């Protein structure tokens, strides 16, 4: 049986250990590139570390009157070499950072498209999109720059301290005292940066949610005159992001200036104490000059360490949000190279070459609810649908009709009982194989941005031109294609905005028929069609029902009076099964629905 990953139980922040572990998981595949970048950075740092010593030697030679040409040439070569190596390392790290972001985005996108429907309905799509875009961008800095900056900064800092200790231990003590005080101040600031960055990222997610909400109902927003109100809603989220971003920038500025202030303060202290030591003969002038140069050299490694911690604090919030997505429950990967999927692929190929037989459907005492704290949508639902023919599901809104389709497609798992296709529990089917046998037309008949052709072959990419012509004629879309400027290759707009509701519905039906399914699910598939096109589609469905199993959810009973069997549902239960004539005579609810829709003139609504 296919299983999913563990669902999210809470949004508890990651501990420092968990954050580092998650970061390591992102960086590990690129560890050799990071190591190369680190090596280049260390070579560049070593070049900078040798320059003060070369300067000391230069001053000593000037004092003794010796030639300095060799030292100048060596110093020049050292500067050029360290610059070239550092530039190479910077490129390697930037490229690696982009690769880390690309890998994270690929993983997230693949995971998001496999989310279980319950998770997708729980988390706003705009927030999920912001995690793929803005959060992964923050991952870029922390994945390489923070790691390498911390390593090179620490190595360069320790090396400089060792050399400074050799030069003069007294001046080193003065320097470390000042730097330690500044380091304590920075440590107090870092948690504030992390908190402000996390709040800023959450606000960016709110912007995406607000925009997705507006663009998902753009015409309704305009028709309701709600542009100003919705603008204010998005503006409020943008303002929150700005406010927290400014707060983060403020603390980053404090942390960034603290290291420079510490070095400047240390410089004044060393200059005063060192000058006194030179005047007293306790140390030569060249040593003081070299020590001061090392003091300024410390600015870079200390800045790197501060930047690394700042980037890490910023990235920790992004890593936590990315990790939350990685804990969301997903369906099994349909293309995963496992023995089970190889078997499913061969089984699918065998079915494609074998004659397509209609699928049978059976619900055995099925109960379902979305969560333990929610009421049951289905309560002990049982019915049997043999292969071929049309079976209709009718009843009041909220009776659980569309949920039948959701359980068949395994968008949700039954809480109790069994859902069987061809006598086999759907949970024992390979998910890809199950859905490959089903054609599904949703109630709102979604059309994707792209061309008409892309929408038609979306579920059947291998469909031929003959298949397309046949299904276009059957669904009466051929006249639409003829009047479009580019025929099948005409863009249909965002969510099919350039098409009418009836055209979108017929496209959805054509898309399902191109799949040549063994089981066809139609959820209110003719609700937006005019009488002429509705009749044509009904004829198509009746024709399809002769060679496949068709299940129809309908509110308009006129569309299903000719069904082979009608399942009447009410309050999550099956109350009757029969033909139209049988149910009019035997079931009070169905008779009342039929009378309300003027299908039984002799009856009146009660």
Mean pLDDT of 270-288: 82
Burial of 465 (0-12, 13-18, 19+ CB in 10 A): exposed
> Is a pLDDT exceeding 50 seen at residue 8?
no
**Range 584-596 average pLDDT:** 86
Question: How far, in Å, CA of 54 to CA of 224, rounded?
Answer: 75
The token pair at 62 is: 């000037």
Question: What's the gap between Cα 449 and its chain centre?
Answer: 19
pLDDT tens-digit map of 410-451:
988 889 999 999 989 998 888 888 888 888 888 777 788 788
> What's 115's DSSP letter?
B
pLDDT of residue 63: 66
Say which residues have a Cβ less than 8 Å from residue 465's Cβ, sequence separation at least 6.
none
Q: How do residues 288-322 score in pLDDT, each as one tens digit? A: 887 887 777 777 777 777 777 777 776 777 787 78
What's the pLDDT score for residue 68?
Answer: 66
Q: Which residues, in sequence order, are bridge partners of residue 552? A: 392, 522
CA 505 vs CA 190, 524, 526, 602: distances in Å: 55, 10, 7, 34
Please tell me the predicted confidence (pLDDT) of residue 486. Answer: 85
- Strands 389-394 and 361-368, sheet pairing: unpaired
Average pLDDT over residues 501-525: 85
- Continuous segment of H or E residues that includes residue 384: strand 378-385
Is the distance from CB of 399 to CB of 570 less than 8 angstroms?
yes
Give the alpha-carbon dihedral of 142, 147, 152, 155, to 10 degrees: 130
Q: What is the pLDDT of residues 361-406, one digit of tens each?
A: 999 999 998 888 888 889 899 999 988 888 999 988 888 888 999 8
Any idea where the domains of the chain sit in the sequence?
Answer: 16-326, 444-516
% of the chain residues with pLDDT over 70: 84
pLDDT > 70? residue 270: yes
∠ CA 201-203-208 to the nearest 5 degrees? 95
The radius of gyration computed from the CA coordinates of the chain, to the nearest angstrom, equals 35
| pLDDT of 329 higher than 90 | no
**Contact between 447 and 494 (Cβ < 8 Å):** no
Please say whether the beta carbons of 157 and 301 come within 8 A: yes
pLDDT of residue 352: 45
How sure is the predictor about 65, in pLDDT bands with cuts at 50, 70 and 90? Answer: low
What residues contact 478, with CB distance under 8 A and at least 6 apart? 469, 472
**pLDDT higher at 93 or 194:** 93
pTM: 0.68
Q: Which fold has domain 444-516?
A: Rossmann fold (3.40.50)
List the one residue out of 332, 329, 333, 321 whose CA is nearest residue 370.
329
Cα–Cα distance for residue pair 252/547, rounded to 1 Å:
69
Fold for 16-326, please state it. ABC transporter transmembrane region fold (1.20.1560)
The pLDDT value recorded for residue 383 is 92
Per residue in 560-582, pLDDT tens? 888 889 999 998 899 989 888 88
Mean residue pLDDT across the chain = 78
Owner of token pair 């060792």: 162
Q: Which long-range contacts (CB under 8 A, 24 or more apart) does 174-177 make?
A: 174/266, 174/269, 174/270, 174/273, 175/266, 175/269, 175/270, 175/295, 175/298
pLDDT-derived band at 336 (thresholds 50, 70, 90) equals: very low
Give 475-508 pLDDT, tens digit per residue: 888 888 888 888 888 888 777 777 777 788 888 8
Q: Hey, what are 412's tokens?
A: 């949700």
More confident residue, 72 or 231: 231
Nearest Cα to Cα of residue 36 among 147, 156, 136:
147
Cβ-Cβ contacts under 8 Å for 111 (sequence gap 6 or more): 325, 326, 328, 330
């Amino acid at each position: 049986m296919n299983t999913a990953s563990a669902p999210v139980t809470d949004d508890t922040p990651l501990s420092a250990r968990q954050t580092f572990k998650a970061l390591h998981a992102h960086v590990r595949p690129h560890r050799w590139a990071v190591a190369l970048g680190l090596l280049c950075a260390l070579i560049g740092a070593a070049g900078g570390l040798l320059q003060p010593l070369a300067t000391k030697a230069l001053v000593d030679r000037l004092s003794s009157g010796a030639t300095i040409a060799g030292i100048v040439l060596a110093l020049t070569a050292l500067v050029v070499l360290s610059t070239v190596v550092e530039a190479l390392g910077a490129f390697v790290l930037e490229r690696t950072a982009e690769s880390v972001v690309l890998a994270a985005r690929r993983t997230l996108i693949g995971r998001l498209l496999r989310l279980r429907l319950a998770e997708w309905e729980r988390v706003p799509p705009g927030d999920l999109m912001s995690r793929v875009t803005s959060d992964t961008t923050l991952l870029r800095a922390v994945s390489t720059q923070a790691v390498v900056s911390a390593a090179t900064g620490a190595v360069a800092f320790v090396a400089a301290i060792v050399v400074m200790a050799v030069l003069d231990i007294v001046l080193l003590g003065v320097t470390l005292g000042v730097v330690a005080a500044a380091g304590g101040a920075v440590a107090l600031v870092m948690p504030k940066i992390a908190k402000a960055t996390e709040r800023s990222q959450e606000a960016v997610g709110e912007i995406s949610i607000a925009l997705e909400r507006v663009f998902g109902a753009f015409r309704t927003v305009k028709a309701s005159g709600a542009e100003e109100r919705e603008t204010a809603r998005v503006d409020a989220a943008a303002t929150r992001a700005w406010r927290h971003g400014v707060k983060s920038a403020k603390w980053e500025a404090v942390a960034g200036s603290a290291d420079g202030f510490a070095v400047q303060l240390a410089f004044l202290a060393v200059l005063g104490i060192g000058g006194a030591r030179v005047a007293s003969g306790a140390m030569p002038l060249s040593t003081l000059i070299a020590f001061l140069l090392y003091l300024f050299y410390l600015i870079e490694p200390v800045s790197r360490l501060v930047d690394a911690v700042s980037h890490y604090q910023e990235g920790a919030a992004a890593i936590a949000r990315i990790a939350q997505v990685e804990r969301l429950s997903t369906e099994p990967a349909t293309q995963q190279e496992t023995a089970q999927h190889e078997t499913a692929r061969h089984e699918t190929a065998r079915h494609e070459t074998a004659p397509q037989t209609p699928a049978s459907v059976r619900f055995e005492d099925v109960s379902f609810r979305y969560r333990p704290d929610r009421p049951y949508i289905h309560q002990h639902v049982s019915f049997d649908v043999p292969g071929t023919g049309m079976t209709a599901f009718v009843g009041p809104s909220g009776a659980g009709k569309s949920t039948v389709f959701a359980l068949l497609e395994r968008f949700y798992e039954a809480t109790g009982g069994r859902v069987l296709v061809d006598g086999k529990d759907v949970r024992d089917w390979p998910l890809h194989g199950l859905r490959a046998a089903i054609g599904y037309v949703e109630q709102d008949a979604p059309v994707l941005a792209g061309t008409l052709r892309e929408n038609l072959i979306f579920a059947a990419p291998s469909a031929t031109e003959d298949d397309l012509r046949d299904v276009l004629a059957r669904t009466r879309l051929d006249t639409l294609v003829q009047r479009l400027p580019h025929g099948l290759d005409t863009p249909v707009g965002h969510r099919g905005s350039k098409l009418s509701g009836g055209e979108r519905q017929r496209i959805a039906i054509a898309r399902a028929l191109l799949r040549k399914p063994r089981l066809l699910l139609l959820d209110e598939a003719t609700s937006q069609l005019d009488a002429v096109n509705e009749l044509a589609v009904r004829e198509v469905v009746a024709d399809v029902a002769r060679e496949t199993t068709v299940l129809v959810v309908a509110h308009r009973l006129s569309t299903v009076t000719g069904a082979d069997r009608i399942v009447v549902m009410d309050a999550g239960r099956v109350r009757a099964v029969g033909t139209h004539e049988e149910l009019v005579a035997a079931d009070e609810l169905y008779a009342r629905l039929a009378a309300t829709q003027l299908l039984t003139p002799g009856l009146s609504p009660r």
